[in-house]
Amino acid sequence: MRLKDKVIIVTGSTMGIGKAIAKKAVAEGAKVIIHGLEEESGLQVVYELGEENARLHIEDISNAGAAQRLVALAVDSWGRLDCIVNNAAIVAASTIFDTDKAFFTRMLEVNTIAPCLLIQAALPHLIASRGAVLNIGSINAWSGEHNLLAYSVSKGALMTMTRNLGDSLFREKGVRVNQINPGWVLTENEIARKKEHGLADDWYQNLPEVFAPAGRIIFPEEIAVAAMYWLSDESGPISGQVVDLEQYPMIGRNVPKDAGTIPHR
């Protein structure tokens, strides 16, 4: 078991990618803190994983003291903390024409500042366990779509933080920090968002090849499998790295003008 006896906080894990990572981590021997805003969904995840393997914390990750409460729950429950998965995020559309200060600030608070503060709060325990941090970014970090301005900036900032801490924390304290940038993933929220945009209920079954060469988009479980490498000791001394997880290259790819647009994470 690749994560046997490790204790891991997975933010934003009541659904989607975070839930898939938490479930895979438990299957690999870990204990997990499930976190999010959806209490009913979170209770269901804990039920599926077993109370001996999971604890639930419902709170906005940007609240003052939220990071300390998550860390305390992990340590009080199992006596240690080995890994942080910073997955909780707001995904919301905005452009240069409609992004006001309050919206931008909120996006940065949740997507960029809260992950940093959680690492900071967990640091004494991560140093003791020579642990690992995995930040969940987005391929939009590289530039992003025109209608995902604030979100893309927040994920770009997260990527810079990963590289900065991945060097300094590992060099000085032995704590590894890495990041994966998922592409378009079929989460519950993504299905709901596209319906809100006016697409059919089965929109994900009929996608243009230019956006989904495989004939489908990525499943959360496929992101979770990749996450196990970075959380386990198998990744050895590798730190400060960012890996894109998409089914086509993001740089140098020419999308035909008539392809249309389907905004995604």
Partner residues linked to 32 by β-bridges: 8, 54
Of the candidates 70, 37, 33, the residue with the CA atom closest to the CA atom of residue 55: 33
Does 151 qualify as catalytic in the annotation?
yes
Catalytic residue among 151, 204, 229, 248: 151
| DSSP secondary structure string for all residues of 184-238 | SB--HHHHHHHHHTT--TTGGGS--TTT-TTSS-B-HHHHHHHHHHHHSGGGTT-
Cβ partners under 8 Å of residue 139, min gap 6: 181, 182, 183, 244, 246, 250, 265
Nearest partner of 255 among 215, 197, 213, judged by Cα: 213
Collapsed DSSP state (helix, strand, coil) of residue 262:
coil
Q: What is the set of active-site residues? A: 151
